[in-house]
Amino acid sequence: MAITIGQALSSLEPNAIWRVEHLEAGDKIVWDSEDITQPTQSAIDTEIARLQAIEDANAYARNREAEYPSIVDQLDDIYHNGVDGWKATIKTTKDKYPKE
């Protein structure tokens, strides 16, 4: 998932009030917090890159979570196949989406 300007602004200045207008020429930030200084474009770009790196580094965890069986099914697997059988089931997903 690509990090947006809005996510970067929320991260940099969580108490600020602003909006992003999507124009044909590009996005325009409308800053409504007079008491909070608007971040520079450079700071926004740096924050987007930082947040994107975190997002990318955790992709494996999101992919695994989507493919793991439900907890109920995992417990049933343990009951019927023992812990070693359960580990084999889980290992398939872990191998498909390794930590990098």
Q: Residue 38 CB: number of other CB atoms within 10 A?
A: 17
Percent with pLDDT over 70 in the chain: 100
Q: How confident is the model at residue 30 (pLDDT cuts 50, 70, 90)?
A: very high
Half-sphere exposure of 22 (CA within 13 A, CB side): 3
Q: What's the CATH code of the domain at 38?
A: 3.30.56
User: Is residue 62 a part of any domain in this protein?
Assistant: no
Which residue range(s) make up the domain with 41?
5-57
CA distances from 26 to 5, 20, 67 (A): 12, 10, 37
* pLDDT per residue as tens digits for the range 33-81: 999 999 999 999 999 999 999 999 999 999 999 999 999 999 999 999 9
Are residue 34 and residue 75 in the same domain, yes or no?
Answer: no
